Amino acid sequence: MGSTLRRPVISAVTNRRLFDSRDDAACDQLVEWSAAVSKADVDVLQIRERGLDDATLVRLVRDILAGAAGSGMRVLVNDRVDVALGTGAAGVHLPSTAPAVAVVRRLVPDGLLVGRSVHVGDDVREIERQRGCDYLTFGTVFPSVGKPKGHAVAGVEALCRVCASTSLPVLAIGGLTVPLAAEAARAGAAGVAAIGLFADPWRCENRDTDRTQRLVETVATLRAAFAAVAGNI
């Protein structure tokens, strides 16, 4: 693995539509949320904002990077290698339809973090043989409200098979909750990636507790779930 990631890997994924239907307002809220996420001990933030024009996406990434400065969180851009390089992001996350990791590695400097999404049927052994990938995300593991009705669910057994077939860290994604994170850990996942799991505590209408503190507690509980599973192995 080119860039070390501590275990478990906790990855938040953006979705501006959870914050506002207007792009400008949604991006402003994403920046505020991302700064809080960086303070909550999240390892990786994946900026996955399809449909934004190039200038808006670049500005969003730069604003998020500025808000996360000084934290240990690595900011990755989904799919757009050019934007990741141009903004100084820590890496890029490739969708399963992207070119081979080996091709991407030839375009980026050493040390840039490269992740890739995989699904049932993808050849994870071949991806590992290319020696350019730092981690994989596999899903959709559990039913997710973020997916359309009837979307295929891979399940825990498929996650277990993928984790057993590669030495790369595999992050479970799709329908994750804190209790389900323990199931992912028992299946061999190196961590989790999620959208709602981190957006919901921030969007919660209950103002009795600090929103950043709710994120801190969510991440701490996830780490504790993985630690408990590791302690029982």
Neighbouring C-beta atoms of residue 66, cutoff 10 Å: 11
pTM of the model: 0.93
Give the pLDDT mean for 111-125.
94
* Lookup result for tokens 């000084």: 70
Q: Taken in order 44, 75, 138, 147, is the CA torsion positive or negative?
A: positive
Nearest to 74 by CA among 58, 60, 57, 92: 92
pLDDT > 80? residue 205: no
pLDDT above 90 covers a percentage of the chain that reads: 83
User: Can you give the pLDDT at residue 232?
Assistant: 73
Spatial distance between the Cα atoms of 153 and 2, rounded to a whole number of angstroms: 30
The confidence score (pLDDT) of residue 143 equals 86
3 has pLDDT over 80: no
CA–CA–CA angle 114, 26, 139 (5° rounding): 40
Which of the pair, 203 or 54, is modelled with greater confidence? 54
pLDDT digits (tens, 9 = 90+) for 8-47: 999 999 999 999 999 999 999 999 999 999 999 999 999 9
Rounded Cα distance, 169 and 104, in Å: 19
Q: Which of 233, 229, 226, 174 is nearest to 43 (CA)?
A: 226
What pLDDT is stored for residue 199 in this prediction?
95
Would you say residue 151 has pLDDT above 70? no
- pLDDT for 2: 45
Tell me, what's the pLDDT at 1?
A: 40
What would the two tokens of residue 5 be?
């990631």
Q: In this structure, what token pair is assigned to residue 63?
A: 């604003």
H helices present in 69-187, as ranges: 81-87, 101-105, 124-129, 156-164, 178-186
Show the domains of the chain with their CATH numbers. 9-232 (3.20.20.70)
Q: What is the pLDDT of residues 65-113, one digit of tens each?
A: 999 999 999 999 999 999 999 999 999 999 999 999 999 999 999 899 9
Q: Which residue, 55, 102, 63, is CA-closest to 80?
A: 55
Within 8-133, strands assigned E span 9-13, 44-47, 74-78, 91-94, 113-118
pLDDT value, residue 105: 92
